[in-house]
């Protein structure tokens, strides 16, 4: 019986991506930004599609279905009703106020067919069938179907998809049933993005900065948010007071009434951070966690399920995820590693496989998910890498694996910063040991060195630890797997450095340079860490590197941050990796079994105005 090949697509809003499923199994998935080098690229994922087709060794014409993660706009009357109600000048301002993503929905089907026909060099009538899955349906499918559970409750929270902003589902083997939803404009994702905008960060990319800033502040504005902005019910459902927001009809997220609540206009991007922004970040983080916890409790009470799956952009709030795991009613939680719009490509294809084709879901008898560690992108052979390096006269060593790992472990022990490029590229926003920059977590200078000299980013931002999966409980108050860096857990009490009375009185950015634990480079100011457990079956080389580092140092943890600089997507190719290596103060670069030393490289002649190419966010 021939295989069924389904291509899932997300595009036109942000983080466009493609994913290819064969008989329900994920063959390949990638984000367009990794090829185009435009961060959060929203355009039709031409390069990502080409990669998926090449990885699957198939042609566009041989696909059974192409599935988009959003539905064309069909309820235009509802659109009119919603936007006219919030447009200050009624119908005349409606079209001008309509966001771009809604305007594009009017022509979605025609646009997709034209793009696909151009890609395949064929006529529209020769294309495979074009299907559409619901936006939140795609999120829910991306969370449940690849999860390790045969049954689970599913919670999806994001900015907006079609009309839904929050949805609840019940997953039962091959079936995914909707339970209830909260609709636009009432959105936890857009509320968090409003505060992202107000504190001077970029919407749709700066939310994780707001989360990282929160521990520096005090939640002084929590009651104000709950009194004025958010009508939160005991079951977690909510409504926003739209008098304070501008995202329905304007070009900004908040308005002057919002400014009045928080004693001033939004912080200008790139201006110094004040204690006010830190306290606001702490406050909206507390509110977000409270909403998510209440919704999770409600969903557990209604379904009786012991497992919870999460997706949507809010599911990338790993602090909230950690609270659900530690304090919530569910025994297990699983978060789609590409929880944002990119992951919708996987979900859309899964919807077509299970609900259109009637395909069965393989039994997860081993309790493992089906995301393959999120290593679903391109890989490069050593021969390809050496050919490139030879073409630019870059000196390098090619080493046997055991020799390479022992040498890299030694270099890390000496506080060198190493670019680590090996295996398949990760799918989703996190580097997981495929396209990473790594360092020694015991170093007191590593956090500032990586932020200022490698990443060119804000000094307050924390780094994540990679830890051998079987050693995680030795370092963190956490005893289960967290392979996708989506759970925040406290550092073990025995590793913490107690603060003096004077240090306890410090506030704001003063806290940054205090040594908090025996692994200071990955310990945030509140003694937390965004944990990634490393597993031998999904990333054997990275696992063995951690083992080699542990043999040398007794430490089973490494600093892991994404292989990129601020404003640039994570590197996708050896060329990207070498360019990033030479543009920063990284000390060494590993490309598969090839090792390069910065000290041995020829002078980098590229114009150093390269930073101006990237939009700082």
The residue among 350, 339, 274, 340 whose CA lies nearest residue 309 is 339
For residue 179, give every residue at least 6 positions away whose Cβ sits within 8 Å of its Cβ, in sequence order, or none.
Answer: 167, 168, 169, 170, 299, 302, 303
Contact criterion met (CB below 8 Å) for 153 and 208: no
- Residue whose pair of structure tokens reads 């990129």 in the numeric block: 564
The pLDDT of residue 598 is 97
Q: Tell me the C-alpha to C-alpha distance, in Å, between residue 270 and each of 199, 315, 410, 454.
A: 10, 27, 38, 18
The pLDDT of residue 364 is 65
Q: Tell me the C-alpha to C-alpha distance, in Å, between residue 394 and each of 405, 411, 579.
A: 21, 20, 12
The pLDDT of residue 81 is 55
The pLDDT of residue 103 is 54
The pLDDT of residue 41 is 96
Dist. CA 236–CA 252, nearest whole Å: 27
Q: What are the tokens at 576?
A: 């990207």
The pLDDT of residue 76 is 45
The pLDDT of residue 362 is 76
The pLDDT of residue 608 is 47
For residue 95, give every residue at least 6 positions away whose Cβ sits within 8 Å of its Cβ, in sequence order, or none.
Answer: none
> Which residues in the chain are classed under CATH 3.90.870.20?
382-613
For residue 612, give every residue at least 6 positions away whose Cβ sits within 8 Å of its Cβ, in sequence order, or none.
Answer: none
The pLDDT of residue 248 is 80
The residue among 188, 272, 189, 595 whose CA lies nearest residue 459 is 272
The pLDDT of residue 514 is 76
The pLDDT of residue 408 is 98
The CATH code for residues 5-139+341-370 is 3.30.420.40
The count of other CB atoms within 10 Å of the CB of residue 301 is 10
The pLDDT of residue 456 is 79
Domain 156-333 classification at class level: alpha beta
The pLDDT of residue 75 is 45
Dist. CA 324–CA 328, nearest whole Å: 4
DSSP symbols for 221-238: THHHIIIIIEEE-TTS-E
Dist. CA 335–CA 485, nearest whole Å: 10
pTM, rounded to two decimals: 0.92
Dist. CA 54–CA 200, nearest whole Å: 41
> Which residues in the chain are classed under CATH 3.30.420.40?
5-139+341-370, 156-333
The residue among 472, 489, 490 whose CA lies nearest residue 481 is 472
- Residue whose pair of structure tokens reads 């909260």 in the numeric block: 182
Neighbouring-strand partners of residue 132: 68
Q: What does R_g of the chain's alpha carbons equal in angstroms?
A: 24
Provide the angle, in degrees to the nearest 10, between the axes of the packed helices 401-413 and 540-553. Answer: 50
Q: What CATH topology corresponds to 382-613?
A: DHBP synthase (3.90.870)
Residue 364: cis peptide before it, omega within 30 degrees of 0: no
Residues of the chain predicted below pLDDT 50: 75-77, 80, 89-95, 97, 101, 607-617
The pLDDT of residue 127 is 83
């Amino acid at each position: 019986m021939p295989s069924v090949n389904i291509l899932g697509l997300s595009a036109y809003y942000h983080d466009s991506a493609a994913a290819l499923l064969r008989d329900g199994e994920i063959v390949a998935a990638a984000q367009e930004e990794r090829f185009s080098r435009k961060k959060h690229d929203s355009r039709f994922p031409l390069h990502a599609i080409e990669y998926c087709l090449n990885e699957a060794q198939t042609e566009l014409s041989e696909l059974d279905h192409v599935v988009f993660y959003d539905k064309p706009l069909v309820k235009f009357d509802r659109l009119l009703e919603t936007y006219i109600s919030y447009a200050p000048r009624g119908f005349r301002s409606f079209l001008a106020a309509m966001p771009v993503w809604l305007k594009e929905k009017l022509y979605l089907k025609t646009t997709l067919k034209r793009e696909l026909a151009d890609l395949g060099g064929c006529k529209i009538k020769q294309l495979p069938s074009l299907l559409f899955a619901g936006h939140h349906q795609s999120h829910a499918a991306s969370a449940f179907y690849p999860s390790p559970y045969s049954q689970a409750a599913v919670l999806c929270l994001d900015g907006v998809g079609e009309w839904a902003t929050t949805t609840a589902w019940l997953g039962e083997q091959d079936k995914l049933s909707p339970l209830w939803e909260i609709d636009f404009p009432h959105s936890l994702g857009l509320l968090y993005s409003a505060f992202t905008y107000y504190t001077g960060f970029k919407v749709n990319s700066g939310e994780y900065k707001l989360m990282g800033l929160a521990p520096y502040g005090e939640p002084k504005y929590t009651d104000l948010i709950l009194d004025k902005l958010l009508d939160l019910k005991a079951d977690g459902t909510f409504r926003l007071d739209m008098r304070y927001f501008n995202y329905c009809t304007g070009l900004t997220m908040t308005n002057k009434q919002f400014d009045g609540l928080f004693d001033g206009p939004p912080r200008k991007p790139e201006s110094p951070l004040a204690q006010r922004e830190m306290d606001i970040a702490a406050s909206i983080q507390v509110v977000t966690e409270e909403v998510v916890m209440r919704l999770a409790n409600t969903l557990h009470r209604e379904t009786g399920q012991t497992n919870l799956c999460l997706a949507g952009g809010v599911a990338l709030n790993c602090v909230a995820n950690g609270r659900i795991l530690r304090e919530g009613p569910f025994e297990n939680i699983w978060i789609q590693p590409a929880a944002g719009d990119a992951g919708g490509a996987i979900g859309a294809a899964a919807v077509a496989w299970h609900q259109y084709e009637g395909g069965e879901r393989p039994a997860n008898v081993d309790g493992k998910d089906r995301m393959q560690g999120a290593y679903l992108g391109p890989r490069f052979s050593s021969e390809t890498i050496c050919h490139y390096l030879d073409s630019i006269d870059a000196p390098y060593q090619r080493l046997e694996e055991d020799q390479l790992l022992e040498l890299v472990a030694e270099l890390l022990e000496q506080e060198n910063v190493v670019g680590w490029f090996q295996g398949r590229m990760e799918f989703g926003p996190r580097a997981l040991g495929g396209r990473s920059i790594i360092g020694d977590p015991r170093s007191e200078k590593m956090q500032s060195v990586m932020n200022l000299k490698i990443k060119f980013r804000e000094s307050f931002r924390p780094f994540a630890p990679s830890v051998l999966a079987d050693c995680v409980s030795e370092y963190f108050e956490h005893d289960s797997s967290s392979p996708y860096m989506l759970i925040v857990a406290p550092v073990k009490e025995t590793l913490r450095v107690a603060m003096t009375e004077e240090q306890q009185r410090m506030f704001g950015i003063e806290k940054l340079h205090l040594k908090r634990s025996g692994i200071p480079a990955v310990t945030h100011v509140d003694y937390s860490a965004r944990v990634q457990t490393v597993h031998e079956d999904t990333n054997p080389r990275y696992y063995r590197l951690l083992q080699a580092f542990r043999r040398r140092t007794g430490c089973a943890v490494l600093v892991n941050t994404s292989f990129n600089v601020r404003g640039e997507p994570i590197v996708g190719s050896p060329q990207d990796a070498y360019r990033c290596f030479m543009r920063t103060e990284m000390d060494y670069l590993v490309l598969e079994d090839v090792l390069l030393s910065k000290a041995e490289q020829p002078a980098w002649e590229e114009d150093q105005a390269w930073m101006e190419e990237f939009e700082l966010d």
